[in-house]
Amino acid sequence: MIRYLSYEVRLALHPAVWLLPSLFAILRLTGVIRPESTGWLGFLEVMFPLLFPLLSFSLLERERNWRTLEVWVATPWRKAAALLVRYLSTLLPLFLTVVAAVRPEDYLLILSPGLLLGGLSLLFGLALGEEVGLGIGLAWWGVSFALGVTRPQILAHEVASWFLLMLSNAPLSPQQVLSRKWMHLGMGLLLLLLASASADHKRSWKPR
């Protein structure tokens, strides 16, 4: 099992992706970035989730070109498990970047919208095509960003605020923000599991 996981991680990750967490670790150690900075945290909450649907798109594009789903039919491993391992391996540098950039109590604030968008893009990417999945993920991010900028009062709405991704500047109590972030995380994990399960039922995947 360890040998298999090690192989999947090496297959999923290009060595260059480790530059991002390494860079943030250096910037934090040198004091260039300060995890306790409110402005820095808000910037990460807005921009960092964009990387997750982009990585979902990249993973699906690569698997399509490699015809991976057809190859997995002949392996003893379920396609769902293999896809899940590769996707989580792809996200590993992002997790390490968050660890290097923010305090532990802020991990949920940064990671939950990204996991939600990534799981959404992966699920719809498998079902409808990776471009559609990426478009849906980016559309949710864009609507959340636009409403947060043009109509900041909506961030305090009892219903709408559950569907907006950027809440660090919302006029909500820490408990309210935390409950919404936990909901985003739960939805993201559920979408990821659904996407992984759908890989077992995908019979064909024609390369371009």
Asked, for residue 207, whether it belongs to a domain, the answer is: no
Q: Containing domain of residue 107, as a range?
A: 2-201
Asked, for residue 206, whether it belongs to a domain, the answer is: no
Asked, for residue 86, whether it belongs to a domain, the answer is: yes
> Measured between alpha carbons, how far is residue 73 from residues 6, 68, 76, 126 in Å?
21, 9, 8, 16
The single-letter code of the amino acid at 54 is: L
In the chain, the DSSP E strands lie at: none
Asked, for residue 90, whether it belongs to a domain, the answer is: yes
Residue 133 and residue 53 in contact, taking contact as beta carbons nearer than 8 Å: yes
Asked, for residue 208, whether it belongs to a domain, the answer is: no
The conformation of residue 89, written as its DSSP 8-state character, comes to H
Number of domains, the chain? 1
| H helices, E strands: number in the chain | 9, 0
Altogether, the residues listed in the chain come to a count of 208
Instruction: From first to last of the 208 residues of the chain, give the pLDDT tens digit.
Output: 566 556 566 655 666 677 878 888 888 888 777 776 666 788 888 999 999 999 999 888 887 775 555 555 555 566 777 788 888 888 888 898 898 888 888 899 999 999 999 999 999 998 898 999 999 999 999 999 998 888 888 888 888 889 999 887 778 888 988 999 999 999 999 999 999 888 766 655 554 5
Asked, for residue 28, whether it belongs to a domain, the answer is: yes
Contacts of 148 (CB under 8 A, 6+ apart): 154, 155, 164, 166, 169
Which pLDDT score, from 0 to 100, does residue 5 have?
59
Asked, for residue 130, whether it belongs to a domain, the answer is: yes
Which pLDDT score, from 0 to 100, does residue 133 have?
95
| Prediction pTM value | 0.84
Asked, for residue 149, whether it belongs to a domain, the answer is: yes
Nearest to 205 by CA among 70, 78, 59, 86: 70
Residue 55 and residue 91 in contact, taking contact as beta carbons nearer than 8 Å: yes
Which pLDDT score, from 0 to 100, does residue 9 have?
62
